Each structure stands twice: as C-alpha cells, then as structure tokens.
Chains A and B, each alone.
Chain A
Amino acid sequence: MSADVQLDNVWVKFGDFVAVRDASLTIQGGEFFSFLGPSGCGKTTLLRAISGFQHPSTGRILIGGKDMSGIGPNRRPTALIFQNLALFPLMTVWQNISFALEVKGMNKKARRKKADELLELVALPGQGDKMVTELSGGQKQRVAVARALCAEPEVLLLDEPLSALDLKLRQHMRTELRAIQQRAGITFIYITHDQGEALTMSDRVAVMRQGVVDQIGDGTTVYDHPETAFVASFVGENNSFSGTVIEITDGLACVQTECGLLRSRTSSAAPLKKGDDAVVFVRPESIHFCGDDTRRDENGLVATLAHQEFEGHFWHLALKTESGHDIRMSVMNDGRSEVHEIGASVPVGFSTQGAIALAPGELAAD
C-alpha cells in the first residue's frame, strides 16, 4: 500500500537558523519523488521531519491524509534508509532485514521466510546467514533497502543512499531502485545532491535552495524549463549571460549583454518585462559551431578556444569571448564535428529555443 505525503506550510528552525522555509507540497501515493539541492539546503531536515525524527517548528505533515504531529518515528508508516545505511553490525543479514518483524513479535521461522523473500526481491538470494560486514558496498545497499521494505512502509525515505558507491555501481543501483519501487508499488522520497540520480529515477523533482523549494516538476521540465536562475544553474550545466531586457515579443526576449544582443525563450512561470535585469542561460550542449554564416534565428558569438577535455562521448570545450566571458560547450564525439586548435578563433552559436532568459538570482556554486 502506498500513501501520499502532504506538507502544509512546514517550517523547521534551529534557533535563528531556518532550515526549511514554508514548504508546501503534495507527493502522490506511489510516486518516486526527489528533493534535489546542494548540501545545507534543508533537504535532509525535511526528510527527517517526514520520518518523525525532527518536529516542524510550524506547519503540518500529513501521511495518507493523517496528521503526523506527535507521532514518533516508530509509529509512522515510513521507513528511512540512512546515508550510511546504519545496518546493525552485530546481526546477520537476515536478522537485519527482519528486524521490523522481530519488533512486531513474529516468530523466528516466519521472519526467516520473509527475509528470504526480500533477499530474492533485492537480488541477493541465499545471503541471509552472512554478517553484514562480509558484504560489498552494493550488497549492503540492497540489504538496507530490504530491511526498510520489511517494515512494509507506505512511504520509503532515502537519504542519499548511493553516495558512497562507485560510479558504475551507482548507475546500476539507480535502475535497480527504480525497479524495486515499481515492484513494491510504494511512495519513494529520495534525497540527493546528484542531479543525475534525481533526473533518472524520479517521477518528479523538487529543487531546493537554502530551505526553499524553488521548483517542482518532472525531470525534463526542471531541466528544460527552469523557473529560477538557481534551478537553471544547479540542474545540469549552464552558461549565463547577464544583461537587460530590450524587448519582449511572443514570449521571446531580446537581452542586451556584454556579448551582444541575445535572443531567447522566457519562462511563462517567471515572466520578464522590458527594462528588467535578466540572465540568459544556455546549455553547453545547445551551443554548436556555426561556420561563417549565422542563421537569422540564431545567436552568434566569436570566441577563442582556451582548452578542451575529452570525455569519451563528448568533447568539453572552454572558450573565451572577446569581452572575456567564459563559455563552456559540449560537442558530441560522432566523428563529424569540427576539430579546432587551442587558441583558434571559432564562431559559435545557439538557437533562440536553446536559450532561456530568467530574472537574476542566486546561482549554484560550481
């Protein structure tokens, strides 16, 4: 069974410090929902508030429509997977997994059976009698998931559980977690600072900054249609050009920047008007070489190639414009793109649709 989670004007304060500022949102039952943000943005505090380890200073948290205030973590229909997993080192794998059943007073035989079923579910059959210290990182991960699922929670909370794994395993576990969520059919709330994790696994992502939820949407919305400068700069990479709006027509902006006049989309959720300060964001993969002639709907720039990195499927180039502005661009390594020498002057461009103008605001630290 899965339950929806509703936050009503939740604030969490530690003395003068505000960790979560007026969070209001609803997470649907059965949804894979991620909170994405840099460290210190309040996402872990929010998760602890949902699990019951932290009381909101004001506001309410409802799980399955029931107000959770005054209900301790041991009596909430949630299970939390800790960042360091917090498996019990003195118990065997199956004892770890079936701990929630032991609490309920189930007999040993039934517990063992349930633990074996869950080991099957997380693809670790027959490992029940090992000690957790004998397992590899990825296996411990699965045991932690199984232990949490064994409590039959309606909402599973995950606090960056993949951060300790190496890249390959992390990518594998993403797929795995998503599959487990669909099999178990319960609500997953996932905390991460890794946008790759959030985008690949989640139905919806909430991007957080300094205790505030900036934007909620599915992966493509958050990536392609950011509503704040922070979301644009935190989710994925982005080049930014600051300037002033000269003209707005049909949702398209014309922004005067130090690199010249740039044309871009605007966000309907955060409209701009003539005379506003604005920042034009352009993704590295939206920039391309454009030869000598720039098409009419294109923005054109001339920049010097400062250096380049090879990452297999992409070349990552760093360029500098005449006005000294740094530009990053990614070129797919498909054997067809141009090759330039370091120091060469290259004309580059991007389409109006490949850029978005937003109101200036806090940018994510690089």
Chain B
Amino acid sequence: MRNWLRTFLARNGIGLSVYMLGAVALWVIVMIILPQLFMLDFSFRNNWQQIDPSRMGGPDDVYTMVNYHFLAFGSPNNPDPFNVVDVTVFFRTIVAAIFVTLFDLALCYPIAYYLAQVARGGKARLLVLALIIPFWVNELLRAFAFRILFGEEGTINAILMGIGVLSDPIDFVREDVALYAGLGYAYILLMIFPIYNVIESLDKNQIEAARDLGSSWWRIHRRVVIPFAKPGITSGCTMVFMLSAGALAAPQILGGPSSLWFTQIIYQWFNTGSNWPRGSAYAIVLMLTCVLLVLILMKLFKVKIGEIGR
C-alpha cells in the first residue's frame, strides 16, 4: 500500500494525486458509505421525532429491532401470524422483478447477439440509434405514454377490438401487463449493452467452428456463445433485477390499483407516514435481499465479481 502510494505520488505529482484521491474518497465515503450508514442507523431507532420529540437523544433513544419486527409481524394488535400485506408485497415484488429480468434477458439476448455478430456497419448503427433514442423521453413521460397505450380505452385495446380479436376491452393496467411491459422496457439497454459487449469480443471463428463440426444454431448458443457471454448476462441481469426491484415511478404510474410495489410502501413510510426509521428498515431489507439473491445467482452460475466489471 505504501509503495503503491509512493509510485502514485511520483507519477502524478502532489497536486493531481491529492485531487484524485480526494475525489475518489469523496465519492466512496460521502456518496456511498455515509448515506447507507445513516440508513442503517435510522432503521434501528424508534420514531421519537413523531411520537415525542423531547425523548430524542435521551435515555430512551436506544437501538431497537422494532422496525424490522413491524415488517415481519405488523402492529401488536395484528390478528394474523405475520404482517400479511407488507410481506406479501415484498415477495411479490421480488418475484415480479425476477420475472421482469428473465423477460428482458429473453428479449435482449437475441438483439445483443444480432448487434454483436450479425449486423454490420450502417445497419448496426441504425439499430443502436433506434434502441437509444426512445430513452431521450424521460421516464415519467414514457410511463404515462404506456398508460395511454395499455389503458382500457387505449391504443392496443382499440386495435384489438377494431380487428375483432376482442369484443370487450382488457384492462391491461389492472392486470399488471402495463407495469411489466413498462419495467421491462425501462431497462432493456442495461441488459443489451453488457451482453453485446461480451459477445462482440467472441471470435467469429468459434461460432463457425462449432457450425462446421455439425452444431445446430441452438447448440452453438448453448455451448459456445452463452458460456462465453455469461459475465455479460450476469451483469445485465443484476442491473435489471436491482433496478426493477427498486423502481418507484413505473409502479406508481403503471401499477394496478390492487398491486403495490414494495418501494411504494417504503415511500409511504418516509413520506406520508413520516416514519423514516421504519422506511429505512424496509429499504435495508429490500437491498440486502437483492444483494443476497445476486450473490447466490453468481455462485450458481460460477461468475466472479471481477468478471462482471469487464
């Protein structure tokens, strides 16, 4: 470490070195570590701010599990054996995020492969533009546009009824179709580009060699392309999963009236509930669960954390 510091100083000079190290330290400590530590600290406290501000910082302001207990079992007079609403929403959110991730993977792998190995020059550039330009529209606007598209009197229903496939409109919003489509679409680039990056570096001859040895297309992908693309696939899945589990705007706008996303509950605790400690606890549980799931996935598919960064 000391040696590394010395060569770093020698190479960049004192001024630049202090700036670079300072910037990195600021980034890591102020932007990443401190906020999470505050959240962690909050999550173990009573909400004295609202109940009785005078007891803040007093002898009663001690660490407690009360917020985590609430997430699991609800209020003391809850007749159920556990906090049915919150726990159900939590698991439904996780499962739905997994579903969105798989959907994106199925959709984006062929696109990424096509971009990386099949399309050339102008065609590839055009396709990339077509993928990127829609994201110039901001997230809220896009979500509302999806609402118009999928609404009971929306474009899709109008078309389906117009050509006679449906006699009565389907409420895609109530059925959560709009939510999954919106979430899925929101993160396709985060799935496509990591996979594209990896497949692009795959030697075309490998694909041809497999084909020459008699492989069907399916087997070429299963035995040559997908194993090679695994770091990219994991990286894409991780991002899409984390972001969709943590999404707020899309569920808020596109979610049906009966379906809550776990982030909406967190938001309620922070905002309307004015209970930051409870909101923090919920957020920490969501984050840790997501991280744990990703780590299990990586273990399962034998991907090392360093490979994801490529």
Interface centre among A74, A90, A102, A151 (most CB of B within 10 A): A74
Known: A100-B213, A103-B213. A84 touches B227 (CB 8 A): no
B237-280 vs A, Cβ < 8 Å mask (1 yes, 0 no): 00000000000000000000000000000000000000000000
Say if the beta carbon of A78 comes within 8 Å of chain B. yes
A78 to B214, CA, bound (A): 10
Residue pair A99, B205 in contact (C-beta under 8 Å)? no
Residue pair A73, B211 in contact (C-beta under 8 Å)? yes
Interface residues of A in 74-127 (CB under 8 A from B): 74-75, 78-80, 82-84, 86-88, 90-91, 99-100, 102-104
Residue pair B210, A79 in contact (C-beta under 8 Å)? no
Known: A90-B227, A90-B228. A72 touches B211 (CB 8 A): yes
Say if the beta carbon of A328 comes within 8 Å of chain B. no
Residue pair B214, A86 in contact (C-beta under 8 Å)? no
Residue pair A74, B205 in contact (C-beta under 8 Å)? no
In the assembled complex, which residues on chain A have CB atoms less than 8 Å from the CB atom of B211? 72-74
Say if the beta carbon of B168 comes within 8 Å of chain A. no
Say if the beta carbon of B209 comes within 8 Å of chain A. yes
Say if the beta carbon of A310 comes within 8 Å of chain B. no
Residue pair A88, B212 in contact (C-beta under 8 Å)? no
| Nearest CB in chain A: distance from B200 CB, A | 16
Residue pair B213, A79 in contact (C-beta under 8 Å)? yes
- Across the two chains, which residue of chain A brings its CB closest to B207? A86
| Nearest CB in chain A: distance from B255 CB, A | 41
Known: A86-B205, A88-B224, A90-B228. A80 touches B214 (CB 8 A): no
- Across the two chains, which residue of chain A brings its CB closest to B205? A86
- Across the two chains, which residue of chain B brings its CB closest to A48? B208
Interface residues of B in 190-230 (CB under 8 A from A): 203, 205-206, 208-216, 219, 223-224, 227-228
A99 to B227, CA, bound (A): 15
A53 to B207, CA, bound (A): 11
A84 to B215, CA, bound (A): 20
In the assembled complex, which residues on chain B have CB atoms less than 8 Å from the CB atom of A91? 223
| Nearest CB in chain A: distance from B294 CB, A | 22
In the assembled complex, which residues on chain A have CB atoms less than 8 Å from the CB atom of B206? 86, 88
A358 to B208, CA, bound (A): 42
A44 to B216, CA, bound (A): 24
| Nearest CB in chain A: distance from B203 CB, A | 6
| Nearest CB in chain B: distance from A82 CB, A | 5
A240 to B90, CA, bound (A): 85
In the assembled complex, which residues on chain A have CB atoms less than 8 Å from the CB atom of B227? 90
With A74-B214, A83-B205, A102-B223 known, 12 other A-B pairs at CB within 8 A are A53-B212, A74-B212, A74-B215, A74-B216, A79-B212, A86-B203, A86-B205, A86-B208, A87-B209, A88-B209, A99-B223, A103-B213
Q: Residues of B with Cβ closer than 8 Å to A? A: 203, 205-206, 208-216, 219, 223-224, 227-228
- Can you spell out 26 A-B residue pairs with CB atoms less than 8 angstroms apart? A52-B212, A53-B208, A53-B212, A73-B208, A74-B212, A74-B213, A74-B215, A74-B216, A75-B214, A78-B212, A79-B212, A83-B205, A86-B203, A86-B205, A86-B206, A88-B206, A88-B210, A99-B215, A99-B223, A100-B213, A100-B214, A103-B214, A103-B216, A103-B219, A151-B212, A151-B213
Q: Residues of A with Cβ closer than 8 Å to B? A: 51-53, 72-75, 78-80, 82-84, 86-88, 90-91, 99-100, 102-104, 147-148, 151
Interface pairs A-B: 3 shortest CB-CB: A86-B205, A86-B209, A100-B213
